[in-house]
Amino acid sequence: MFIKGYSVASVVEMCCCGCFGLSFEEKEKKTRRNFHTEGHISEELLLNDEVEDEEEAEEEEEDEEEDNCSYGDDISETEKGDHEEFRNPSKRSEDILLYRTQNGLICREFPVKETHKVVRTEDENGNKMVNEYVREYKIGSGSYGKVVLYRSQVDGKNYAIKAFHKSHLLKQRVAPSETAMTDVFREVLIMKMLNHPNIVNLIEVIDDPNTDHFYMVLEYVEGKWVFEGAGPPGGLGQNVSRRYLRDIVSGLMYLHSHNIVHGDIKPDNLLVSANGTIKIGDFSVSQVFEDEKDELRRSPGTPVFTAPECCLGLTYHGKAADTWAVGVTLYCMILGRYPFLGDTLQDTYDKIVNDCVWLPVGMNPLLKNILEGLLCKEPAQRLTLEMVAVHPWVVGDVGPIPQFPCWCKRNNLKEEQKSDPLKCCT
């Protein structure tokens, strides 16, 4: 079923393809079309491929903080309404996050460093610097800002830094009452709460009230994309796919246990570190809930990873939609192709809602079982992440995916044991 009210703004948001959620600016300009009347969408947008053209290559030579390009403020009222509909659950994520932050309800032993002074200089070799960080090269760019590789002069490590202009964020409307600054603010608040080995870590936030510059200093994951080299005719193989899936599920179980829905799980947002560990990145469309009630209205994710219930224009459960996206990702890793892909957005949604998933004859029965369970079109009958964690194919020779002893739960247990010493003996 094709949702005729699917907004251009929502479709453009789907093509976030950078490792930290920033799509290429030129591609955004080219794909900002009226899909309401055309009813078609390019394969590039459906698959979210990264394409650098000559202008993008030339832009490598420019200073990432001095760019004065347009950021696409021309969003219609209808599109704003669609966007607003997604980002307004019963209580706004920003309000929940602020409450948790103000009351110390974060899952980090050591808080994210906050710096309120920006010093922009050059090192002895003429390389641009932001505070202690020396610019190496640009990683990606998009409608909100740029991601640049920097090296710290303090510890010698590389960091991926998201660089923004606050004035651009404040001018760019994403909803009647919200700007792009709302998106970035929410992403920062979410990442300030998180600390897990399978999630990209936010190291520092640099926000000088006297300048227009705003920076997010992130852990640099130097590895390749999960899906890189995994195209037809084959995938990554069962052993590698199993190892990656265990990391993805571990990180996503952690997010869900803190009532955070990622909203855009896909290979492009899953990075591989030098030691082969998967890191989940890009929280630009993530949402937070007060409790287990994770109902949402609009899905801002990538079309080919969208769950069937999200294609129907009805309310859906965010965690179940995340789990479907895990199934699509596993399918990609195993078979090197997408389970449901049409020539148009409508065709793709039709296939997601109506077609049976194709699996090759002779596939490992356990692998077939988990793929069918994850790609079950009925969300209430879909495998949960907890079921996946103990599934025989996932367990293999390693064992079930272990529960991560996160900081806030350890802290809560300590407090409970203080108030009731007998609990430590039960």
- pLDDT for 113 equals 93
Q: Where in the chain is the domain with CATH 1.10.510.10?
A: 238-395
What digits encode the pLDDT tens for the residues 203-214?
999 999 999 999
pTM value?
0.75
3-state class of 423 per DSSP?
A: helix
Q: What is the mean pLDDT of the chain?
A: 75
Query: Greater confidence, 35 or 233?
Result: 233
Q: What is the mean pLDDT of residues 143-169?
A: 90
Q: Peptide bond before 233: cis, by omega within 30 degrees of 0?
A: yes
Question: Dihedral through CA 282, CA 286, CA 290, CA 294, nearest 10?
Answer: -130
Phi, psi of 203 (to 5 degrees): -95, -45
Name the CATH superfamily for 238-395: Transferase(Phosphotransferase) domain 1 (1.10.510.10)
pLDDT band at residue 40 using 50, 70 and 90 as cut-offs: very low
Q: What kind of architecture, by CATH, is found in domain 59-219?
A: 2-Layer Sandwich (3.30)
DSSP assignment of 401-417, as one string? PPPP--HHHHHHHHHHH
Instruction: Provide the annotated active-site residues.
Output: 264
- Of all residues in the chain, the percent with pLDDT exceeding 70 is 67
The pLDDT of residue 380 is 93
Q: How far apart are CA 195 and CA 337, in angstroms?
A: 32
Task: Check the annotation: does 319 bind a ligand.
Answer: no
What confidence tier does 68 reach under pLDDT thresholds 50, 70, 90?
very low
Distances (CA, A) of 331 to 227, 339, 361: 11, 7, 15
Instruction: Name residue 133's beta-bridge partners.
Output: 130, 152
Pick 140 or 324 by higher pLDDT. Answer: 324
Provide the pLDDT for residue 291.
65
Among 145, 267, 276, 162, smallest CA distance to 221 is for: 276
